Amino acid sequence: MKEMETLLRERRQFFCVGDLMEMRIDFVSQGVSDLLGLGPENMNGATITRLIHPADISRVKSFPSRVRRAGIDLFHEKEGQEFFSATSRFLRPDGQVLDALFQNWAFYSKTPYESVFSVMIITDISHLSDLNNVQHHYVGRDPSFFRYPDDALLKTGHSLSDKELEILSLVACGMESEQIAQKLTRSVHTVNTHRRNILRKTGRANVQELILHLKDQGML
């Protein structure tokens, strides 16, 4: 265990293990102190959510509920596993910003008792890639996404800006371009340009199709 903690700290990582059905964290490695500035005894799901940088909240706010939904599905299926991976910034209590990769492995097991368990790893990726252009986000059953991050992994994602995601969120709420323009104090032309760029970037046929996809991915 001591060797593992040393390796995790060298890699700028920490991990948590818990019961996804009960939304409980049972173990947190010591590296959380280095990365998030908190002791292991202070860590829980609400703490992680609270530390997400305000600029990233709109992009990842639905992620926890998507993980929870996967846990329920796996429990009903009585088998299987699902992987979640996303870049995000954390705002530490001391005001420092951490560029990080959040990875979660959810799996059904009958031992030590029947439940869906979760292994979550958070890695400091500030030295690995330029995060301004691509925001990595993955939900699925491919275990290759649950690996130590490299540029290839981080560049698997989407290139939607925060403003484009905000517009999609408003469209998902049933707002028309005119209403969105008024709310964001932008011209209707600007909003419609954003909507066209969104479809061009994602290769989707229409905005509603894209919204359904992003909701399934926990991004809206």
Helices 177-184 and 188-202 pack at an angle, to 10 degrees, of 110
Residues of the chain with CATH 3.30.450.20: 2-158
Position with higher pLDDT, 203 vs 182: 182
CATH domain 2-158 topology: Beta-Lactamase (3.30.450)
Q: Are 119 and 103 contacting, i.e. CB atoms less than 8 angstroms apart?
A: no
- pTM for the whole structure: 0.82
Q: Which CATH architecture has domain 162-216?
A: Orthogonal Bundle (1.10)
Instruction: Please check whether residue 106 is in contact with residue 77, taking contact to mean a CB–CB distance below 8 angstroms.
Output: no
Q: Does residue 212 have a pLDDT over 90? A: no
Residue that wins the pLDDT comparison between 46 and 99: 99
pLDDT at 133: 55
All CATH 1.10.10.10 domain ranges in the chain, comma separated: 162-216
